Structure 1
Amino acid sequence: MPLPVKRVKYARSMILRPHLWVCSVAIIALSPFPAYAQNRETSTVSLGMRRDFSLASQPLSSTIVRFSAQTGINILADGAFAAGIQSSPVKGSLTVEEALSQMLRGTGYFYQRNDPRSFTLVRQSTTNTDQATDAGVQLDVITIQTGNRSVSGLVAGKNAPYQTTAAVTSVDAQTLGEKNAGNLDAAIRSSAGTFTRKAMSGAGVAVNIRGMEGYGRVNMMIDGARQNIRVMGHGVSGGSAFIDSDLLAGLDMGRGSLSGAAGVGALGGAANFRTLGIDDVILPGKSYGALSTIKYGNNAYDWSTMAAAGMRAENGTGIMGAFNRRDSGAPKGGEDDNGRRLTDRNQAEDLKSGLAKLELGHGEDHKLLLGGIWYNNKSTIRGEPQDYLNHTYTARYDYTPDNDLIDLTVNAYYNDAQVRFSGGKYAGQFTRDKGMGIDVTNRSHADLSNDIALKLTYGGAYYHDDVTNGQSWGRGGPGDGKIGIGSLFADATLSYGMFDLTAGFHYDTFRLQGDVVKKNDRQTVLEYADRSDSHFNPRVTFAATPVDGVQFYTTYAKTFRPPTITETFFPGAHSATPNPTSPNPDLEGESSKGWEFGMNVLKKDVLAPGDALRMKANYFNNDVENYITSGAYSMKNMPMLQFVNITGKTRIKGFELETNYDSGFAFAGVTYSKTSTDLPYGMWSDGFGIGELNGLPDYTVTINAGFRALDEKLTIGGQVRRIGKTKAVKPPMGPQLIDVEGYMLADAYASYKYNENATFFVNIENITNKAYKPAQFMDPQKFGRGRTVIGGMTLRF
């Protein structure tokens, strides 16, 4: 075992001297890896071993995925799979090649062996490999990532959003890490229909979907664990998710009404941050491996070093761990008309994070995945230092027997998040949210006749949050309390020819408990509040696929969000003198009703063999009732603030487009979003108090294009981001609004895949070094990051 011990030593020295560690690991990655030959030899023996198979007849592409997951074999296939091809059943104690022969019987395909761990599926019309090569048949590698299932109601993968009758988006790790240099705000703002509110500190991300933001309107999750911590004043009061982007395997987002667990208690959508798993670390066909990403950037970005290692035993038991360290300084903004570059000290970070995963039953009917994620960051808000701690523990159980009625997933989590002032005049004040939850989802499908198929997705969920700030009245928000949210949900889809009809619902109920703090003359009075309510939220979708690869759909839906602990029990801001605020135990929850019209396009071989066109367009029109914001009323001739319901309907409508074309050599894409809202803004909507202005841009456009060369090992691309004008509160506290000009940013990126072990990349953000104020930025006096060049490498071995 000397090699693993050496790797541990390298990983530890990385923290002390990153430049020496980079050189050492690069030499190992770029040279022949001696363990590879041994691994190939072992794999050859395993092909002759017999194992039990039980795969039902189903679409050939689905069977390939399950077959690869069970065996660890890589399958290459002709990229032009004909629709409707069904595999033959595979049953019995068989070798890998015997199982492949059974699976392909009657499909028009046969297999050819490439090496001990991979096969190619060839159409019967192609008589030999040389002929296939001469004809220029495009082959696609089917990548098996069994840990990529997202939260029920969201989807993961490159093609999945364009095959789903909902406004969903999936961002992979490569797009996040290489194209956006790990900048979560940039990745989310470049996606259709999504935006962020940028905090005054460097920590946390707050997702905005179609103008909906904060207080649970968007369900933000880490591996399915809800992130509900909210810090009032001098920050993103509606809540942030604290996650290290260098530990992410992907980001899945859904806009509007969502089915399943993702849509429980959410008004405008959901976002799930998927962290690295065992399959992201271990190369296909190997039983152990390591992954590392090392980055260095100018403009105070400095070093970021992530190291991960994992192994998997023959019985399917796998384990992995990862650690990341980033200590970034205060970046400078772009150059303004007077040649000045302002420094934003609030954006400095001292981040340490890590995760561990344990998997039992890989490739079997039963699979259990246990995970732990640790986040520790230090940053400042207006000169006040803060510590950010977030510990997330998850457990996911999948049961997928060879039974059309059972495809079961159980998710459970415990999340402990805390934000504490570590110095300054607010030292010791904190907010802590301890959350836990569980959701259960099963999927069934059946053929009711030769022409009609039925698909069912159903289950339930329960989530609970316990919030405390540990302060006496008037010295800290958001107020103590507990809330529990339960839900039953179901969706039934009937398919007949080109038509699909889906009817579904959420039945959500909540119970909210806490002390209502009131000031009676000089006395503080506590009154216990205990509220509960329930809502039935139906959803109907009709879809038609008149041409293969082109789908139209329309949805009518209702969503509901209960009032939060923060909004109900908030007694005051963090100061020695209580702010004139008052709790409101009579708040009603928000609801949204409306229509959505969408179109999906997923076509291959459009202009040339092997190319692909992907497009998703959505128009939506919703009315929000009982919208909650901060309001004012008079008590004994003194103005008081509290969260209140706005009477009447608040209209939200807009259009979203996401399209991209990829020929292999060249690629290009456009995302466009235009959202129109008349959302009210409350008192003290500048981040000092309890309300925040929704300053969503009039529109956003991102144009991305590039090319690949050197057998597609080299990728060079760039993007232009245009952000429309927004509104902001006139300093220092309004209530008047001012216009904030729009801006345009240009970025560039490149990557080179030297071999399967090493990829080098560079990213240039804000090439023109433009001075600008980011839209939805909490501090009107700060500017966005100036020109920043970040380069690095990703190593796998």
Structure 2
Amino acid sequence: MSASPLLRPSCLALALSLACAVPLAHAQATAADAAVLDYQIAAGPLGTSLNRIAASAGRTLSVDPALLQGKQAKAVHGQYSVEQAAAQALQGSGLQLVTTASGALTVQRAPANGVERIGTLRVQGDQGNRTQLGDDSRNSADTPYTSAQSGAHLSLQQIERSRGTQAGDIFKSVAGVINGDNRNSGALDLNIRGMQGFNRVPVLIDGSQQQVTVYRGYAGVAGRSYIDPDMIGGIDIQKGPTGGAEGVGAIGGVVSMRTLNAEDIITGDKDWGIRLKGGFSDNSTSPPPAFTTGGLRNGGRFLTACGGGRTCTVQQLPSEFADETGMDRPSTGTPTGGSGSIAAAKRWGEFEVLGAFARRKTGNYFAGENGPGAPEPHYATSRTTDSRGRWVEYTTVSFEGLNRFRAGEEVLNTSVDNQSWLLKGTWKPSPDQALELGRMKYQSRYGELMPSAILRGEGALQSALSDVDADTWTARYRWQPANELIDFKANAWRTALDNTIRNVYSFPALPPEYTYIETTYRQAERWGIDATNTSRFITAWGDVALQYGFTHGKEDVHPISASQSFSSNNAKREESSLFASAEWVPTDWLKFDAAIRHTRYKSYDREITRVPSQSRPIAYTDVHLQNKASGNAPIAAITFTPLEGVQVYARYAEALRMPGLFETSSGPVPSTFAMDLRPERAKNREYGINLLRDGLFAEGDQARLKLAYFDNHVKDYLTRTTVQLDGWVSSPVIENIDNADFKGYEITAEYRTPRFFSELSGSYYTYTNFCHSDRAYPTKSAACHPGGVTDSYASNHVPPRASGALTLGTHQLDQRLTAGGRVSYTGNRPTLPRASSIIPVVDWGSYVLVDLFANYRINEHVALDLSVDNLTDRYYMDAMTLGLMASPGRTVRMGFTVNF
């Protein structure tokens, strides 16, 4: 019997600047195929167990990922060869281990039945490909259907199908998830079940965060994160509070993105790979010069007639209410925008490196031409007569429709011109550990306009283009030996964002000096470290898994120059947390989950704020705003499995979101009461049913279903409101209101066969409510409103009452052709917001969209893509938009992918 691989201490973990040193495993050179090792692997996902078995012995095991979906491995305890251990794990799965003539290992159905392979999962223990830095299982698509928490997984293929015009379009098939202000700036500002902005929904890119809050005038704020879709390898979404390092402050949920890695580029058994992507799109045009006008304008009240002895100067009604420019929409299929990227990866023994570059350029898009939402002039005539019989007649011209842009018109300030590059290097000194260093840069010149400029009478204006430059550095380490007590992850990261926003303003009724470009410069930096370990135990009372760790992060935001301080925040912030969670599986039909998190933070405003006294005469004190708070948040869940592949669960989860820099420092919004801000506390309940069955109706099919009811209550919700500062002066400030509530249902379902697939998602809100006990509201009932409180940012964060999407597709021509379509529905607001003096009411109206997609694989190296978004050329306006901007009309995209 050969000895187990010797563990050799190392200080590699200290390279990540974490607070602990971790011994690193270094496998001795042995005859891996003859080794007998001591395995202590709990029952769990089959892919995870096979990964650990193969890795511990330094062997390579290949398997069709479809074979593993939804399957659980038996526990493996004792001393076995790799073949014996794998056979033990496969017991009862309907699969068998096969050793090829060359000695390679593979898993097949028992007996083999000729099901077509749709890809190969390589579970490797050699030095080239062992420890994964992300999810344990490569089968993340099934995780939402086995979890006592709602979520979603977007694979690389699903991302490709949902590219759309803006980055946020990739989420339009996910129930309960909408990208806010989707047509402005090309950024991500995700809304999950009504929670949006101020880092309520952290967007993680390889574990890092770059989200920055951008003031959008009277319309509110946007929390922006930036990434090019060509750099994304996969996306996982968790809805509601979650344990683990990524869940700090996430009262709405977490969106975790993985960038490309070597496995996405290297195919087969090669040690190198190259991927080329390119394509074009239509329905756009280069942005015109700044101050170019668009949409209908010049409405108003005109004196058009008088009589009865009354003399007057008659005003001529305008013959046109818009310029002829902007209506030169290109014909369908004319290339007007495009994108291209190259990614290359190489492995050398213990090392692998990946580099990628992407460029994307699209001009202002054109609105659709069909449907009832396009604006038209509306004329209303009124006459007044005095006591002498003299009369005067006025004609009022208004514009009825969703916004000012005409059907088929160029929508100003919607262009995007960006480039990105990514560089990642990975060192795997032994089969059970990996260290990855990464750097990503995103640069974009884009169009956007302050929403209030569109709302005023002068209509839309083309703004000068804005710029954003986002840098991300990451260091990620994982140690995952065969020892069940250790599954260690550590991350360190830094992001830096420079943003130059150029807004144009024009007031035709005022002198020329009131037509100008206002430029705002902003710099934001964030740093973070975290460490997590998972220990698994086999006890007489069932399997137990414990996860525990810590996080620490810093933020710093400041203007470029002192002259900008009045319109930009200038502050710093720190936040730390300790967390622990436990999973107990006493029987094969019952599971308990519990978690606890302790969080604390502090912030400091570098600017001076004048604080009024409560006495009279009013006195003011100049102070630097400082805030700090701490608290605990628990999570508990129970899952029953009454039938194989069927789960019923109940979950209660709390989370704390500490006030952010935008809320606790002076800037574009007065922060008089910022010293008294309390953390938001989410108290969420979720009840659901999971179904995950293979072979449900026919051999080789896969059925997935999740039904969930959610009841989310956020105490001390933070938002902008209007208060009286000195007893008579009203001013907008950031403060805590009593609570915000969202209740509703969600469904996610998938059904796949070797030739057909379908996906269904939908959400329906049964209840929304915001309560604010204040002097302005003498009774509690008057203080509550389903659409938000007066002048609140929340008014534009309330999602549609109902929304859903159905995707149908087929695989033909020996799996070389994939084609299908998607029908999506977006409903109206659940209710109109409370009357507001400064927050505009954006009523997008319900709409139905039809999209088509096709992918044809010419050979193993070349594939072609074709998609048509908004097939019916519907005129509509995206839900959750901040400004009155029409959305893209019919857009055709064609592309190719070449793999070497």
TM surpasses 0.5: yes
1:51 and 1:177 mapped to 2: Cα distance? 43
Give the distance between the partners of 1:534 and 1:732, measured in 2 at CA: 34
Verify the 8 A CA contact 1:539 1:556 in the aligned structure 2: yes
Aligned pairs for 1:297-336 (under 5 A) are 297-300=281-284, 302-314=337-349, 316-336=350-370
Give the structure 1 partner of residue 244 of structure 2: 260
Query: SS state of the match for residue 676, structure 2?
Result: coil
The residue that corresponds to 1:170 in the other structure is: 153
Provide, for residues 186-210 of structure 1, a one-character-per-residue CA deviation record: whole Å limited to 9, x for no partner: 2323101211102552321101010
Once residues 447 and 263 of structure 1 are traced to their aligned partners in structure 2, the CA distance between those partners, rounded to angstroms, is 27
Shift in Å at residue 111 of structure 1? 4.2
Q: Which runs of 5+ in 1 are unaligned?
A: 1-45, 93-98, 574-579
Find the aligned partners of 1:146 and 1:725 in 2 and give their Cα distance: 49
1:76 shift after superposition: 4.2
Task: Check 1:183–1:106 CA distance in 2 against 1; reply closer, same or farther (3 A cut).
Answer: closer
Structure 2 gap segments, 5+ residues each = 1-28, 124-128, 285-335, 375-405, 450-462, 505-515, 613-618, 771-786
Q: Which moved more, 1:78-87 or 1:750-759?
A: 78-87
Give, in angstroms, the shift of residue 667 of structure 1: 1.2
Aligned to 2:708: 618
What's the counterpart of residue 497 of structure 2? 417
TM-superposed deviation, 1:238 = 3.7
1:143 offset after TM fit, Å? Answer: 5.0
* Cα distance per residue 1:739-783 (max 9 Å; x no partner): 442100000111122333222211110000000011111112x11
Question: Percent identity, aligned pairs only?
Answer: 24
Pair 146,631 (structure 1): closer, same or farther in 2 beyond 3 Å = farther
What residue number does 1:5 align with? Answer: none
Contact 1:195–1:208 (Cα < 8 Å) also in 2: yes
Separation of aligned partners in 2, 1:77 and 1:595: 33
Of 408, 412, 425, the residue aligned with 2:488 is 408
Shift of 1:692: 5.7
Q: What pairs with 1:473-622 in structure 2 (closer than 5 Å)?
A: 476-497=566-587, 498-515=589-606, 517-518=608-609, 526-572=622-668, 582=672, 584-622=674-712
Alpha carbons of structure 1 residues 748 and 107: separation in structure 2 relative to 1, 3 Å? closer
Aligned counterpart in structure 2 of residue 216 of structure 1, from 190, 199, 207: 199
Distance change (3 Å), C-alpha of 1:278 and 1:480 = same
Taking the TM superposition and a 5 Å limit, the aligned residue runs for 1:148-159 are: 150=134, 157-159=140-142
Aligned partner of 1:270 in structure 2 is 254
User: For 1:385, which of 465, 474, 486 is the aligned residue?
Assistant: 465
Secondary structure class of the residue paired with 1:585:
helix
Contact 2:791 2:837 in 1 (8 A): yes
Instruction: Quote how far apart the aligned CAs of 1:508 are.
Output: 0.8
Alpha-carbon shift at residue 468 of structure 1 (Å):
0.8
1:175 counterpart letter in structure 2? Q
Find the counterpart in structure 2 of residue 121 from structure 1: 107
2:418 aligned partner? 351
Look up the SS of the partner of 2:86 in the other structure: helix
**CA displacement at 1:509 relative to structure 2:** 0.8
1:427 CA drift (Å):
5.3
CA distance in 1, matches of 2:527, 2:96: 49
The alignment's TM-score, normalised by the length of structure 1, stands at: 0.84
Moved more, 501-510 or 413-422: 413-422
Q: Superposed, which structure 2 residues align to 1:585-734 within 5 Å?
A: 585-636=675-726, 637-647=728-738, 649-675=739-765, 676-679=767-770, 681=788, 693-726=796-829
- Distance in 1 (CA, whole Å) between partners of 2:59 and 2:847 is 51
CA contact (8 A) 2:62 2:107 kept: no
Residue aligning to 2:407: 340
SS in structure 2 opposite 1:406?
A: coil
Secondary structure at the counterpart of residue 790 of structure 1: strand
Give the Cα–Cα distance (whole angstroms) in 2 for the partners of residues 47 and 770 of structure 1: 65
Tell me what 1:247 maps to.
231
The answer to whether the 8 Å contact 2:33/2:59 transfers is: no
Q: Bigger radius of gyration, 1 or 2?
A: 2
More off after superposition, 62-71 vs 766-775: 62-71
Establish whether residue 79 from structure 1 lines up as the match of residue 67 from structure 2: yes
Return 435-444 or 469-478, whichever deviates more: 469-478
Which of 735, 760, 763 matches 2:864? 760
Matched AA of 2:706: K
What is aligned with 1:22? none
Q: CA deviation at 1:110?
A: 5.1
Q: Is the 8 A contact 1:462 1:487 kept in 2?
A: yes
- From 367, 381, 398, the equivalent of 2:478 is 398
Distance across 1 between alignment mates of 2:271 and 2:360: 30
Aligned counterparts of 1:158 and 1:253: Cα–Cα separation in 2: 11
Contact 1:483 1:511 in 2 (8 A): yes
Distance 1:532 1:155 in 2: 40
Specify the alignment match of 2:288 in structure 1: none
Note if contact 1:88-1:103 (Cα within 8 Å) is conserved in structure 2.
no
Cα distance between partner residues in 2 of 1:118 and 1:268: 46
Mapped partners of 2:228, 2:432: distance in 1: 32
Equivalent residue of 2:557, what SS? strand
**AA matched with 1:291:** R
Please state if 1:364 is matched with 2:347: no
Q: Any idea what SS the aligned residue of 1:667 has?
A: strand
Q: Which residue of 2 aligns with 1:434?
A: 525
**TM-score of the superposed pair, with normalisation by structure 2:** 0.74
DSSP-derived class of the 2:887 partner: coil
1:675-721 per-residue CA deviation (whole Å, 9 max, x = no partner) reads: 33224646656xxxx77622411111101111111122211111100
Cα separation, 2, equivalents of 1:90 and 1:440: 31
- Determine which of 550, 555, 562 is the counterpart of 1:465: 555
Contact 2:131-2:480 at 8 Å conserved across structures: no
| Deviation string, structure 1 residues 444-492 (Cα, Å, up to 9, x no partner) | 111111x511111111111110111235477654411111111111111
Q: Deviations 1:202-225 (Å, cap 9, x if unpaired)?
A: 321101010000001111211111
Partner in structure 2 of residue 204 of structure 1: 187
- For each residue in 1:591-613, what CA deviation from the matched residue of structure 2 results, as whole angstroms up to 9, or x when unmatched? 11132112211100011111100
Q: Indicate the residue corresponding to 1:792 in structure 2.
A: 895
The 3-state SS of whatever aligns with 2:145 is: helix
Preserved CA contact (<8 Å) 1:220 1:271: yes
- State the match for 2:403 in structure 1: none
Q: In 2 relative to 1, CA 476–289 (structure 1 residues): closer, same or farther, beyond 3 Å?
A: farther
Evaluate the alpha carbon distance shift between residue 752 and residue 552 of structure 1 in structure 2; reply closer, same or farther with a 3 A threshold. Answer: same
Which amino acid counterpart does residue 202 of structure 1 have in structure 2? S
